[in-house]
Structure 1
Amino acid sequence: MGRPETPGTAGPAAAPGSGSADGADLRPPDATPAALTVGPGEAQRHPHAARPVVVASSLGPLAGLRADPDESASVGGPPATALLLPGYSGSKEDFAPLIDPIAAAGIGVLAIDLPGQYESPGPDAEHEYRPSALGPVIAGVVADEAAAGRRVLLLGHSYGGLVARAAVLAGAPVRGLTLMDSGPGELPMGRRRSDLDVVEPVLRRRGIDEVIALRDASGQWSSTHPHVVDLLRDRLRRSAVAGLLGMGDALRSEDDRTAELVAAVRARRVPCLVVCGTDDDAWPVSMQRTMADRLEAEFAAVPHAAHAPNVENPSALLDVLVPTWRTWLRDDILG
């Protein structure tokens, strides 16, 4: 059996309104999800039927959102869970629009805050937030899900993709790996890397409130709903400074470990998907496509999206994820 899981108590409760039962009624089990209506800048507050939970890990409790699958839409075999890992300065709420449609397609969802993010406590040392350190932590979470009889489809967004890769390299028993807007190694030169260069000394010398003030002044949140901006500020303020510094450093120094990952997924016959927004401004789309070729992975680019299709165009992203994952699960049953 896996480690015990407890109901979550911190943070905003999941809101009903687009539950899996409604989604399942709109389409036959094998169809792609019905189109979502998500207002501009409102994704992290999109209503869903997931319940807050606390998941045990080797680094302590991790805050999560769990949604049970609609069993009538299952492809058969043991139950499946999509384990969703957010990116740098992100949180489980970044996946809010995806939760109910994935569950309605017969796949459970467990979206978590990584150690040190938002509602998950984390260690004090910066080096413990590198992908090589967090990977074994997530591998343990995957192992617990597997011990509970669930097949795990692991997805990592941006920095979460580097952590997901490290989890697979650490032996996580996944049934599929999805790398979303995540590259083969460190961020290439560009705006996002420059932003990290600017933020690091401010964070070290003046603290997180000054970083929030910088983001406010930059207009970065100007097109975001005020209710969501409150969440973004709160989660940044509650995230571990050591975590932001450690992840930021890793984003500028992570080695290309694609060759190691190729060997691991081939040896264990783990199917892979690389997906990104067509206008990704972190790792170039061409770089991610090349990584997919090296992995012999499926590749998809989501239109009208940049670095976060989960919030920018979740409907089109689901059109990629759900059919792909269901095919993997069906192939797993067939052997």
Structure 2
Amino acid sequence: MTSPSHLSPPHGARAHLLRTERGDFAVVDMPVAAGVEPRGTALLLPGFTGSKEDFRLMQGPLAERGYRTVAVDGRGQFESDGPADDESAYEQPELARDVLAQAEAVGAPVHLLGHSLGGQIARAAVLLDHRPFRSLTLMSSGPAQISVSQQQRVKLLRDSLAVMTMADVWEAMQAMGPPEEVGGPARGIGGPDLLRRRWLGNKPAQLFATGRQLCTEPDRVAELAAVPLPFHVLSGARDDTWPVPLLDDMAVRLDAHRTVVEGAEHSPNADRPLPTARAIADFWDRA
């Protein structure tokens, strides 16, 4: 499998299937840049309706800093298979166990980074077993459920999925506004054709289950704070999904390193990839 996404991976990276004890997952695997001393490996988890391509603009800069990065499509997400109708396959504990298997397949211990929904799945994985991880970075991912306005958008999306085809829902979602505002595809990466293809690649049951998780996630910050790992809370300067002051407070509760990327919103990996990658690599260097 060379480039399943129809978007060439970053120069030097390889798109392939990562084989794990819990199945195969589509990944973009970027090795450390030639001539650079390796400093570690990181697993990157995308957000709701997102995909591994959301990290495309960061992977090269991170490779230059000595980090191999493996960006993953989760179960039932874009090019990773999963059941179309069985929502139980996408309950958070199941997705968390997938992450543990991915870490082992990549070569634990690894740095773990999750964007938006991916951050909450990453948190669940760390709470199940922190040993495969060297650190946890929560990118634009808050302590509990998403904001009321975003819950309303997700509910509308789920109601639409119940009565419309995936293609019709995509058209309706475009009329609602930028999909990244509910943690969806990052602006511009791959262009509208790829964004539509990866939406159509999502399994409906996965969207139902993960959309529900976003709207009902409890606050587990106190549990996470008891885990002996270095934490990093990174966000843009503006975020409608979890207000920035809420992320500031979460960082204090976790005794976490805090980064605010100026000029970025819910997807700093797309809005300002270079300063975002720099901040992440600086944290990994210290961790």
TM-score by length of 1: 0.78
Paired amino acid for 2:88: H
- Superposition pairs of residues 58-69 of structure 1, within 5 angstroms: 58-69=21-32
1:327 aligns with 2:270: no
Q: What does residue 51 of structure 1 align with?
A: 14
- What displacement does 1:119 show? 0.3
- Superposition pairs of residues 4-153 of structure 1, within 5 angstroms: 7-8=1-2, 10-12=4-6, 14-15=8-9, 47-70=10-33, 72-74=35-37, 80-123=40-83, 124-146=85-107, 151-153=109-111
Equivalent position SS for 2:43: strand
Deviations 1:185-208 (A, max 9, x none): 111212x22111111111011121
Structure 2: unaligned runs, 5 residues or longer: 180-185
CA distance in 1, matches of 2:97, 2:142: 20
1:176 aligns with 2:135: yes
CA distance in 1, matches of 2:242, 2:71: 23
- Superposition pairs of residues 266-277 of structure 1, within 5 angstroms: 266=228, 270-277=229-236
Equivalent position SS for 2:23: coil
Pick one of 197, 201, 219 that aligns with 1:238. 201
The answer to whether the 8 A contact 1:48-1:96 is kept is: no
The answer to whether the 8 A contact 2:114-2:121 is kept is: yes
The answer to whether the 8 A contact 2:187-2:270 is kept is: no
CA distance in 2, matches of 1:50, 1:274: 27
Q: What does residue 264 of structure 2 align with?
A: 305
CA distance in 2, matches of 1:83, 1:212: 28
- What displacement does 1:131 show? 2.4
Superposed CA RMSD: 2.1
- What displacement does 1:245 show? 0.6
- What displacement does 1:69 show? 0.8
CA distance in 1, matches of 2:188, 2:284: 32
CA distance in 1, matches of 2:78, 2:201: 5
Q: What does residue 41 of structure 1 align with?
A: none
Paired amino acid for 2:197: D
- Superposition pairs of residues 137-216 of structure 1, within 5 angstroms: 137-146=98-107, 151-172=109-130, 173-190=132-149, 192-216=150-174
CA distance in 2, matches of 1:205, 1:108: 42
Instruction: Find the structure with the greater CA-based Rg.
Output: 1
Q: What does residue 182 of structure 2 align with?
A: none
CA distance in 2, matches of 1:311, 1:174: 25
Q: What does residue 296 of structure 1 align with?
A: 255
Pick one of 231, 248, 251 that aligns with 2:214. 251
| Change in CA separation of 1:209 and 1:247 when aligned onto 2, cut-off 3 Å | same
Deviations 1:207-230 (A, max 9, x none): 212211112334538x96596111
CA distance in 1, matches of 2:189, 2:3: 24
Equivalent position SS for 2:41: strand
CA distance in 2, matches of 1:244, 1:212: 13
- What displacement does 1:59 show? 3.9
Paired amino acid for 1:125: D
Paired amino acid for 1:308: S
- The farther-off stretch of 102-111 and 56-65 is 56-65
CA distance in 1, matches of 2:258, 2:2: 35
Provide the identity percentage: 35
- What displacement does 1:318 show? 1.6
Paired amino acid for 1:86: P
CA distance in 1, matches of 2:156, 2:209: 15
- What displacement does 1:120 show? 0.3
Q: What does residue 31 of structure 1 align with?
A: none
Paired amino acid for 1:247: T
- What displacement does 1:290 show? 1.1
CA distance in 1, matches of 2:59, 2:147: 31
Paired amino acid for 1:95: F
